[in-house]
Amino acid sequence: MKTLGKTLKEAREQNSLKLRQVEDATGISNAYLSQLENDKIKNPSANILYKLSSLYNLELNSLMAASGAIKKKEDDTVSLLNSVAFSAESLSKEEEEALIEYLKFLRFSKKK
């Protein structure tokens, strides 16, 4: 399993962001960001992980897993069920299932 630091640094570079820019965007000091990326921090707050996952368009679960909060990994379906829905009214069961089916379809037809 990739460390939290590696995961965060890769994500930041993928988005071509500097530590200072991340600081401006999230309010997290660049010094602390550096420590996070160098695995000096064992237990960051949910707040911090959420802000970063949000900025980098990462799934929170992958950050939590990298940070050691989550140890085991589920399959796609369970993962989607658990992760979808920050919105005011979350997705209904039917909507979730429909979206999962639709995504499978999307990916299937993409493979040609």
d(CA 26, CA 54): 10
Measured from the CB of residue 92, what is the shortest distance to its own copies in angstroms?
A: 9
Residue type for 14, please? Q
CB closer to DNA, 34 vs 90: 34
| DSSP conformational letter for 28 | -
| 34 binds, options DNA, its own copies, none, Cβ within 5 to 8 A by partner type | DNA
Q: Within 55-84, which residues bind DNA (CB under 7 A)? A: none
> For residues 76 and 107, is the Cβ–Cβ distance under 8 A?
no
d(CA 55, CA 39): 19
Quick check: 54 binds DNA (CB under 7 A)? no
- To which residue do tokens 């309010």 refer? 27
| DSSP conformational letter for 39 | T
Quick check: 3 binds its own copies (CB under 8 A)? no
| 30 binds, options its own copies, DNA, none, Cβ within 5 to 8 A by partner type | DNA
Query: Applying CB under 7 A, which residues contact DNA?
Result: 18-20, 27-32, 34-35, 37-38, 40-45, 47-48
